[in-house]
A and B are shown apart, each in its own frame.
Chain A
């Protein structure tokens, strides 16, 4: 149970509980929001951990694509475009609707890499691809990244709204401590 592979998930649990405890136990309205934020961050960690593929590189198209069909795997940033789960870029029958990305912009920018054993598996993959142009690349799953981006934006909006409410509560009550507010406006059943 304490295997190193589960380290990420332990972090998730610790952060979640830390955030949740802060949320419940602190009486200061801003501290509650901070706890809420920590709680949300733990969920981001959960998603990113699940999206990682061992030996996978960041999901960005690399290198020049040969003319015949390749599945399109560009990193989708808007949630309404296709959620593409294909991990390897290889000759695959693509359905007629998926367009072929024929530009490989990054290949001009990336330097030639020598496949020496001291490099990471990803860099070794890159080097192989540049040599043969035919090897498969293993990408990390880009879908959780998109989901997390959405969740981060939602978290930002929630925090902003919460803080705006706290500012207005401060103006009305003169304090942001929950117990002092309850003295002024007693909590009804």
Chain B
């Protein structure tokens, strides 16, 4: 049993060191989606992977103390609302649905803003979905 405790220490230490970088990398991938491979879905999955890593190492109770699981259900819906909301904002501003060019004072900035917000919505929803799925499975198994 000494080996497993030993390994657990390594896992705990490495996870603690890596976790902030994982989350930071997720944010990097999120915001560089229009210049390099990345975007909402990839970033969301990386962010969720960080949270899942934490849950795997430290246990579900501690994860629930770190992040309230109910927040993910709200984030899920908010992400989709943000996406559709940007589309409706474009509708209201005079263009067609999801026409980013009308969102700002000139089309280039409008496109930039539109894509940024859309990807943010996608990232939020994907993170929330991945973590919710994981928490749903973990809290149920073993009964």
Interface string of B90-128 (1 = CB under 8 A from A): 000000001011000001100100010011001000100
- Asked whether any CB of chain A lies closer than 8 Å to the CB of B79, the reply is no
- CB proximity of B124 to chain A, nearest CB, Å: 14
Is A149's CB within 8 Å of the partner chain B?
yes
Q: Is the CB of B37 within 8 A of A99?
A: no
If the complex has contacts A74-B34, A77-B33, A160-B133, are A97 and B40 also in contact, measured as CB distance less than 8 A?
Answer: no
Contact of A81 with B115 in the complex, beta carbons under 8 Å: yes
Q: Which stretch in B1-9, B61-69, B135-143 binds the other chain?
A: B135-143
Interface residues of A in 35-85 (CB under 8 A from B): 58, 60-61, 74-75, 77-78, 80-81
The reply on A106 being an interface residue by CB < 8 A is yes
In the complex, B50 has a CB within 8 A of chain A: no
- Looking across the interface, which residue of chain B has its beta carbon closest to that of A100? B108
Interface residues contributed by chain A, number (CB under 8 Å): 23
Which residue of B is nearest A78, CB measured? B118
Contact pick for A75, options B37, B118, B140, CB 8 Å: B37
Q: What is the interface of chain A mostly: helix, strand, loop, or mixed? A: loop
What does the 1/0 interface line of B28-61 toward A look like (CB < 8 Å)?
A: 0000011111111100000000000000000000
Contacts between chains A and B (CB distance < 8 A), count:
51
Contact B37 A78, beta carbon cutoff 8 Å:
no
- Which residues of B sit under 8 angstroms from A75, Cβ to Cβ? 34, 37
Residue A11 is within 8 A (CB to CB) of chain B in the complex: no
Chain B residues within 8 Å of A, Cβ to Cβ: 33-41, 98, 100-101, 107-108, 111, 115, 118-119, 122, 126, 133, 136-137, 140-141, 143
Chain A to chain B contacts (Cβ below 8 Å), 17 pairs: A74-B35, A80-B98, A81-B98, A81-B115, A97-B101, A97-B107, A99-B108, A102-B108, A105-B35, A106-B35, A106-B36, A149-B41, A163-B137, A164-B137, A167-B137, A167-B140, A171-B140
Shortest Cβ-Cβ A-B pairs, 8 listed:
A77-B39, A99-B108, A99-B107, A160-B133, A80-B98, A105-B35, A99-B111, A78-B118
Q: Residues on A close to B: CB < 8 A?
A: 58, 60-61, 74-75, 77-78, 80-81, 97, 99-102, 105-106, 149, 153, 160, 163-164, 167, 171
